[in-house]
């Protein structure tokens, strides 16, 4: 019997060691691109242009950040992204809660058909061209509100939020109704304060989507002053047009700094999300688990 226990203990230690090595490998794979991009952005421009940086910076220079921060187009795009993220996330969360909460109540008459209708939109969509024609005809084309109203509700997030609301005891809702509370009063005064984990999940998911979104802006926002930061980043990294290069740096610095500026823009555009995520992580894990599994 003792031999079996020893073998089991050894097998458990080997499994733990294998899992630890696997997780360390995943961490390295995830962190290396970020470290590499940051190292390229602060390295000596000559070393960056020659691609001599593999992990740690070679030399030190903040020239790329100075060239980026001196560009007014970047700050305009940055302000637009902050607006789309803040207003869009708030609107998305409110709309998601207003839709998910009625679907979680068994007494809601059209609960089943409405749920089927919502799930149907996950499988079949109208397509880009019909959506473009519709947005153009209702007057949202080339306006700030199109990026907010176009994806007002995420179906998957509605399902997660509905499952979370279903875990709230019905007796709590019934007692509030006996005290004279209305449905909206129950939602905002009782259900919402109890739903901070799933609220954090919705805020994080919607905020990341808005911050990283560029395709909708590429289609619906031709005006340069309305375009978000990610679309500006796409133009710098993918298109790499001469006019874009001219707006970022002076002609005598192009040969050394054009690639380094790209890495600096990546760091500037991802820094806010990296700063916010650690504060929401504890709610993020709990909310996903509770919202995904009905106990």
- Give the tens place of pLDDT for each residue, 141-162: 888 899 888 888 888 888 888 8
| Average pLDDT of the residues in 267-272 | 82
Q: Percent of the chain, pLDDT > 90?
A: 8
Which pLDDT band, with edges at 50, 70 and 90, does 284 fall under?
A: low
- For the chain, how many helices (H) and strands (E)? 15, 0
> What's the CA gap between 91 and 95, in Å, rounded?
6
> What's the CA gap between 68 and 52, in Å, rounded?
22
Amino acid 96: pLDDT: 92
Tokens standing for residue 250: 């002076």
Amino acid 224: pLDDT: 85
Q: Chain-wide mean pLDDT for the chain?
A: 80
> What's the CA gap between 187 and 209, in Å, rounded?
26
Which pLDDT band, with edges at 50, 70 and 90, does 288 fall under?
A: low
Tokens standing for residue 69: 């921060």
| Average pLDDT of the residues in 59-70 | 78
Tokens standing for residue 23: 């997780």
Cβ count near 43 (within 10 Å): 22
Q: Which residue has the higher pLDDT, 114 or 7?
A: 114
Report domain extents, the chain: 2-49, 63-292
What separation in angstroms does the CA of 100 have from each of 46, 95, 109, 114?
Answer: 55, 9, 14, 11
What separation in angstroms does the CA of 117 have from each of 92, 126, 127, 146, 286?
Answer: 19, 14, 17, 23, 28
Which residue bears the tokens 């504890």?
282
Four-residue CA torsion sign, 175, 179, 182, 184: negative
User: Taking Cα atoms as reference points, which of 238, 239, 229 lies closest to residue 267?
Assistant: 229
Asked if 151 and 96 touch (Cβ cutoff 8 Å), the reply is: no
Amino acid 86: pLDDT: 92
| Average pLDDT of the residues in 121-135 | 83
| Average pLDDT of the residues in 197-226 | 87
For the entire predicted model, the pTM comes to: 0.78
Classify domain 63-292 at the CATH topology level.
MetI-like fold (1.10.3720)
């Amino acid at each position: 019997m003792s031999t079996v226990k020893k073998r089991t203990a050894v097998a458990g230690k080997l499994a733990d060691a294998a899992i630890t090595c696997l997780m360390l490998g995943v961490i390295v794979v995830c962190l290396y691109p970020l470290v590499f991009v940051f190292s390229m952005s602060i390295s000596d421009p000559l070393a960056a242009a020659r691609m001599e940086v593999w992990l740690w910076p070679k030399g030190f220079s903040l020239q790329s950040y100075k060239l980026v921060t001196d560009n007014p187009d970047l700050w305009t795009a940055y302000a637009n992204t902050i607006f789309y993220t803040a207003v869009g996330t708030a609107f998305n969360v409110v709309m998601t809660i207003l839709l998910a909460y009625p679907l979680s109540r068994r007494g809601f008459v059209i609960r089943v058909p409405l749920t089927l209708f919502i799930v149907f939109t996950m499988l079949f969509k109208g397509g880009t061209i019909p959506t473009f024609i519709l947005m153009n005809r209702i007057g949202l084309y080339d306006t700030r509100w199109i990026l907010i109203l176009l994806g007002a509700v995420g179906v998957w997030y509605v399902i997660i939020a509905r499952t979370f609301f279903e875990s709230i005891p019905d007796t709590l809702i019934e007692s509030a109704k006996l005290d004279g509370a209305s449905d909206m009063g129950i939602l905002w005064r009782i259900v919402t304060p109890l739903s901070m984990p799933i609220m954090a999940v919705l805020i994080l998911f919607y905020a990341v989507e808005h911050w990283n979104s560029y395709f909708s802006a590429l289609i619906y926002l031709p005006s340069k002053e309305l375009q978000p930061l990610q679309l500006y980043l796409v133009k710098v990294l993918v298109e790499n047009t001469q006019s874009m290069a001219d707006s970022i740096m002076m002609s005598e610095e192009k040969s050394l700094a054009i690639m380094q500026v790209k890495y600096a823009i990546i760091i500037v555009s991802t820094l806010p999300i990296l700063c916010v995520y650690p504060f929401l992580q504890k709610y993020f894990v709990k909310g996903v688990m509770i919202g995904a599994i009905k106990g």
